[in-house]
Amino acid sequence: MNDLILTPNIDGADDFYAELLSLHEGLDKADSDALNARLVLVLANHIGNRATLTQALAAAALKEEV
């Protein structure tokens, strides 16, 4: 099964979110955008599976059917 996980799956969600915010601290908007882009690519590579990535793209686009 390579279905995209869309149920809660992060242990310590608040810790993760705080860490994500702290990564952006002190950056200007352009640097923050670039950081997010790199993060997307790093995570995509970790997922690897093409079908799952397509599902993730649709989920992020807020398309109803994923």
Partner 1 sequence: MNKIFEVPLYAYNRSPDQDASAPVRHKVAVIGAGPVGLAAAIDLAQQGIEVVVLDDNDKVSFGSRAICFAKRPLEILDRLGCGQPMVDKGVQWNMGKVFFDDRQVYDFNLLPEEGHARPAFINLQQYYFEEYLVDRVRELQADGAPIEIRGRNKVEAIGTHPDHVKLEVETPEGSYTIEAEWLIACDGAGSPTRRMLGKDFVGRVFEDNFLIADVIMDADFPTERWFWFDPPFNKGQSALLHKQPDGVWRIDLQLGWDIDKEREKRPENVIPRLKAMLGEDIEFELEWVSIYTFQCRRMEQFRHGRVLFAGDAAHQVSPFGARGANSGLQDTDNLVWKLKLVMEGKAPESLLDSYDIERVHGADENILNSSRSTDFITPKSEMSRILRDAVLDLSEHHEFARPLVNSGRLSVPCTYDGSPLNSADALDGPARTRPGSACPDAPLGDGFLLPKLADKFTLLTIDADAPDMIEEDGVEVTRLALSVKDDATLALKERYLGDNDSGVYLIRPDQHVAARRPSFDEPQIRAAIRRATGKE
CA distance 9 to 61: 20
Question: What contacts 24+ positions apart, CB below 8 Å, involve 26-34?
Answer: none
Q: Does residue number 8 form part of the binding site for partner 1 (CB under 8 A)?
A: yes
Q: Does residue number 5 form part of the binding site for partner 1 (CB under 8 A)?
A: yes
CB of 48 to partner 1, least distance (A): 19
Which residues form the interface with partner 1 (CB under 8 A)?
A: 5-10, 13-14, 17-18, 20-21, 24-25, 27, 29, 32, 36, 59-60, 62, 64
